[in-house]
A and B are shown apart, each in its own frame.
Chain A
Amino acid sequence: MTDAAHAAGPIPKAPRKSLGAWALDVLIWGGVLMLLVYSVGDVDLGNIGKLFSNAESTQTFARELLRPDFTDWRIFVEKMWETIQIALWGTFIAVFAAVPMGLAAARNVSPVWVVTPVRWLMNLLRSIPDLVIGLLFVVAVGLGPLPGVLAIALNTAGVLAKLFSEAVESIDKGPVEGVRATGATKLHEIVWGVIPQVAPLWTSFALYRFESNSRSATVLGLIGAGGIGQVLFDRMNAFDFRDVSAIVVVVVIAVTLIDMLSQAMRKRLL
């Protein structure tokens, strides 16, 4: 379709960045820089020297940490296992909730009057940190793993629903029309036209969240939501730094193993 008439005349100039675009760049990066400088005092950056001037306490602390005490290893492993179980159930419940929410929040599947309220709900779930939700559930159902499970489930449901809906919005609409043209119902279209297209991505997202949830579940223990975190917090308060060190080793090994396992699973999927 190249037309000889279009090729005649002088060669047009290459496009140039406009003055407005330059000004915007300067404004944005300059603003970030100013914000950083302004915040130096407020975050006590001047105190960084204490890390070294307080050498004596840092040294005892470091010395203790370098000699992990594994006498209680049974408890640590058992509690680590509990943390993983919290992450597992939390993620499972979240996936269950995120599938309908993700479909309901996708513009190419659901009408606007469904999409908008579901997105609000998703944003709300995501905007409350799981630590805060956990605290609320500790008050409601008491100390132990259950508040951890519920906190992870709610927060992750919001995150996964958003990721799921974005995956649905980027599908190819051709196969869906192909299914629709056979006289299928809307539900058939979703099950046979949409889900097969997003299944690998959804599974990958869910596995990834399970990985990061096993880290979150550790932290949740600090507020009394069960698992290894609770033990960590107790030993820390008792200045048992050698125990703390052993617990950290257990956590690092467990989280690394989960990372490797889920990465291997995701690789097989895509």
Chain B
Amino acid sequence: MNSSAASPAPGPLVAGLVMARDVSKTFGSRKALDGVSLSVAAGEMVALIGPSGSGKSTLLRSITGLQTIDAGSGQIDVFGVCVQKNGRTTGAVRAARQKLGMIFQQFNLVGRLSLFSNVMLGALGRLPGWRGLLGVWPGADKTRAMAALHRVGVADYAAQRANTLSGGQQQRGAIARALVQGAKGILADEPVASLDPVSARKVMELLVELNRRDGLGVIITLHQVDYAIRYCDRVIALKAGKVVYDGPSTSLDTKQLIDIYGPEFEDAFWETKA
């Protein structure tokens, strides 16, 4: 959306997209996250990988405050503002969510609303209460929603109910919703796991384009290691709630993959081994 985002400005200190320090989360007796610390800069494209149950989704959901982390020293900052501390979300979490588009595996559109209405919901965070409650959207926001739908290629289905659309169409609608939010970053939780390979590639390419052209920071959890390597510059791997790899995707080798996934690591490739 803004043209100056093409290169990460070195001048003033730009607060990073996410800064997590010593984050833990326990479900019953199982540690989903175990002292995770990481920081992601504003314009990065980062893949979060790891076997199922390694804590990828939990981490993403904690960043946007859909989940609280364990009480203690753990803290999460989004764009330099603390959103979670000592096991509670702070008052700043709503403002932070507005700047972060969240893409879910199951799309999480409201099925009985039209695709257009779903995308309009992206404006809720910045409209005065009554307008958002009654669905009286300002004209400028409507135009913005249609532009977003046009950009992701599903403007033709704007009037259709979301639950009549295919998975790929719904997921692109979800991305359009993030665009209407005016998000500065996108968190995508297994965005392609429920899609066929063709739709999956389209969605991945869309996310890459938002990163490269609009300078949006993208953190994406992926089952498929080949997708992580192909589309993302940096990979963070989790195993049993701990960060076991954090570095450029190009230097992930077989030994490290065996470390992360075990000897059957090739199962974690969708198409072919890279």
B110: interface (CB < 8 Å): yes
A205 to B124, CA, bound (A): 30
Which of A49-57, A79-87, A172-180 interfaces with chain B? A172-180
Q: Is the CB of B108 within 8 A of A183?
A: no
A196: interface (CB < 8 Å): yes
B132: interface (CB < 8 Å): yes
Q: Is the CB of B124 within 8 A of A181?
A: no
Q: B126 to chain A: which residues have CB within 8 Å?
A: 183
A47: interface (CB < 8 Å): no
Q: Is the CB of A182 within 8 A of B129?
A: no
Q: Is the CB of B97 within 8 A of A180?
A: yes
Which of A8-16, A184-192, A259-267 interfaces with chain B? A184-192
Q: A181 to chain B: which residues have CB within 8 Å?
A: 64, 66, 97, 100-102, 104, 108
Segment 134-188 of A: residues with Cβ below 8 Å from B: 174-175, 177-185, 187-188
Closest B-chain residue to A188, C-beta based? B124
Bitwise, B130-162 to A at CB < 8 A (1) or not (0) is 001100000000000000000000000000000
Q: Is the CB of B104 within 8 A of A177?
A: yes
Q: Is the CB of A183 within 8 A of B125?
A: yes
* Total number of B residues with any Cβ neighbor in A under 8 Å: 31
A55 to B104, CA, bound (A): 74
Q: A197 to chain B: which residues have CB within 8 Å?
A: 110-112
B113: interface (CB < 8 Å): yes
B122: interface (CB < 8 Å): yes
Q: Is the CB of A179 within 8 A of B133?
A: no
A200 to B113, CA, bound (A): 13
**Nearest chain A CB to B235 CB, angstrom units:** 24
A193: interface (CB < 8 Å): yes
Q: Is the CB of A180 within 8 A of B125?
A: no
Q: Is the CB of B98 within 8 A of A182?
A: yes
**Nearest chain B CB to A108 CB, angstrom units:** 14
Closest B-chain residue to A184, C-beta based? B124
A199: interface (CB < 8 Å): yes
| Given A188-B132, A188-B133, A192-B113, A182 and B104 contact (CB-CB distance below 8 Å) | no
Closest A-chain residue to B122, C-beta based? A182
Closest A-chain residue to B106, C-beta based? A174
| Given A182-B121, A182-B124, A175 and B129 contact (CB-CB distance below 8 Å) | no
Contact of B104 among A178, A184, A185, A187 (CB under 8 A): A178
Segment 203-253 of B: residues with Cβ below 8 Å from A: none
B174: interface (CB < 8 Å): yes
Q: Is the CB of A192 within 8 A of B104?
A: no
B202: interface (CB < 8 Å): no
Q: Is the CB of A196 within 8 A of B113?
A: yes
**Nearest chain A CB to B53 CB, angstrom units:** 14
Contact of B110 among A183, A187, A193, A200 (CB under 8 A): A193
B85: interface (CB < 8 Å): no
Bitwise, A236-265 to B at CB < 8 A (1) or not (0) is 000000000000000000000000000000
Q: Is the CB of B104 within 8 A of A174?
A: yes
Q: Is the CB of B121 within 8 A of A184?
A: yes
Q: A177 to chain B: which residues have CB within 8 Å?
A: 66, 104, 108
Contact of A199 among B64, B112, B124 (CB under 8 A): B112
Q: A180 to chain B: which residues have CB within 8 Å?
A: 66, 97
Q: Is the CB of B108 within 8 A of A174?
A: yes
A179 to B109, CA, bound (A): 8
Q: Which residues of A contact B (CB under 8 A)?
A: 174-175, 177-185, 187-188, 191-193, 196-197, 199-200
Q: Which residues of B contact A (CB under 8 A)?
A: 64, 66, 94-102, 104, 106-113, 121-122, 124-126, 129, 132-133, 174, 177, 181
